[in-house]
Amino acid sequence: MKFYIEKELTNGRARVGKIETPHGDIQTPAFIVVGTKGTVKALTVEQVKELGAQAVLANTYHLYLQPGEEILKKTGKLQKFMNWDGPTFTDSGGFQVFSLGVGKDSKVSKVAESGEIANEVIEPAAKLVKIDEEGITFKSILDGSSHRFTPERSIEIQHKIGADIIFAFDECTSPFASKEYQIEAMKRTHRWAQRSLDYHRSKEESKVQALFGIVQGGRHKDLREESARIIGAMDFDGFGIGGSFDKEDIYNSVGWVNDILPKGKPRHLLGIGEPIDLFGGIENGIDTFDCVTPTRIARNGALYTRDGRINIMNSSFIDDLGMIDAECDCYTCTNYTRAYISHLFRSKEMLAATLASIHNLYFIVNLVKEIRQSMVEGKFEGFKKSFLERYY
């Protein structure tokens, strides 16, 4: 994997670039589409490609439990398994462990006080997880069987899954955890990062798979900066910025971290994807994002438009012959009326989820492309202002 910065904005953080992977390039900033279980929910890979997605991110935890990494390895790794010939990412499973444990107990998901921007939260019994210095023991959400992830095991699984970009195994904490616990968890994450890196570098797979370290530190500036210094000094190919955020703190945290991380390596903001957060993240130096929000809310009928979100289940759309977003060029808006989408949702037809997911992903993927274009043309501030004023 190689990363090139093509242009930097005058604010010193934001940049336009390109990530080269063995399966193709990613023009950054970019929104990476989530395919948790080796499928972008309700879409074929051709639909994912047609809507403009450059890369797909799958989930180590889910694929480990089902179908198991050996089947992926045998099939020819993630790309072959799911028939996606572009770049791929896998997260490390750390966040899912958080979701199963303290995240569930404290009812906090990816962003505090925003149920909408939740990452993939599994429905577990609480206390399914035990953390020690060596790793994490957890019970399967599928059958209750006991499993164990260590940093080495997470990387081994990710090698077998075979994504182009993989992540170090980390511990994600709740923003409501005590500072003492945040420090303890962060320091453990740093030790796990080094172990992930050491294991990775000792294997052949490190020649074709890139490993990103994950910065933690919660809402605390001193911890975020310390984590960025320590993780940033390690020989990772790029970085993830993880953790459960307080809604107001995302931009601050990202900026603190990116001022410290080495400039020449890509930075991925894990699990964040609201329009306002895309602008804030990019402005503060983020190159790639992933988030389940566009597809999750699509399946509930919530659809993005330039004038903000609509819910297609609203009765006003039953006989509305307009398109979801009159300015949208996606497959759904090009071919179907709001009345038809409304009918599909009311009839509980599966095509509803497909058409809605195509639209929402197109909206977000292409919003990031538009942001990129505005940066290339030196018009970022103006585009941000006009988009956000109209959307919110």
Task: Record the tokens describing residue 34, joined without a space.
Answer: 């989530």
The answer to whether 132 is a known catalytic residue is no
Amino acid in the structure at residue 37: K
Please report how close the Cβ of residue 333 comes to a copy of itself at its closest, in angstroms.
Answer: 12
Binding segment (CB under 8 A) for a copy of itself, from list 64-72, 133-141, 221-229, 359-367: 64-72
Between 123 and 389, name the residue whose CB sits nearer to a copy of itself.
123
Tell which one of 27, 75, 114, 252 touches a copy of itself (CB under 8 A).
75
Report 6-45 residues binding a copy of itself (CB under 8 A): 37-39, 41-44
Nearest CA among 356, 243, 344 for reference residue 304: 356
Task: Record the tokens describing residue 280, joined without a space.
Answer: 């804030």
The one catalytic residue in 164, 290, 320, 325 is: 290
Tell which one of 117, 353, 368, 375 touches a copy of itself (CB under 8 A).
353
Under 8 Å between Cβ of 266 and 239: yes
Report 319-348 residues binding a copy of itself (CB under 8 A): 319, 321, 335-337, 339-340, 342-344, 346-347
Amino acid in the structure at residue 383: F
d(CA 7, CA 20): 16
Between 16 and 353, name the residue whose CB sits nearer to a copy of itself.
353
Helices 151-161 and 179-201 cross at an angle (nearest 10°) of: 50
Task: Record the tokens describing residue 230, joined without a space.
Answer: 């320590």
Task: Record the tokens describing residue 375, joined without a space.
Answer: 């940066």
Report 42-61 residues binding a copy of itself (CB under 8 A): 42-44, 47
Per-position DSSP letters for 318-379, written without gaps between them: TT--S-SSTT--SHHHHH--HHHHHHHHHTT-HHHHHHHHHHHHHHHHHHHHHHHHHHHTT-
Tell which one of 31, 81, 95, 169 touches a copy of itself (CB under 8 A).
81
Between 251 and 331, name the residue whose CB sits nearer to a copy of itself.
331
Binding segment (CB under 8 A) for a copy of itself, from list 78-86, 88-96, 218-226, 375-383: 78-86
> What residue ranges in the chain does DSSP mark as E strands?
2-8, 15-21, 24-28, 30-34, 56-59, 88-91, 111-112, 129-131, 136-139, 146-149, 165-167, 210-215, 238-241, 245-246, 267-269, 288-290, 302-303, 310-311
Please report how close the Cβ of residue 327 comes to a copy of itself at its closest, in angstroms.
Answer: 20
Size of the site for a copy of itself (CB under 8 A): 37
Between 265 and 338, name the residue whose CB sits nearer to a copy of itself.
338
Q: Does 306 bind a copy of itself (CB under 8 A)?
A: no
| DSSP symbol at 268 | E
The answer to whether 290 is a known catalytic residue is yes
Instruction: Tell me whether strands 310-311 and 302-303 are parallel, antiparallel or unpaired.
Output: antiparallel
Between 39 and 373, name the residue whose CB sits nearer to a copy of itself.
39
Between 245 and 336, name the residue whose CB sits nearer to a copy of itself.
336
Q: Residue numbers of the site for a copy of itself (CB under 8 A)?
A: 37-39, 41-44, 47, 62, 66-67, 70-71, 74-75, 81-83, 318-319, 321, 335-337, 339-340, 342-344, 346-347, 349-351, 353-355
Residues known to be catalytic: 91, 290
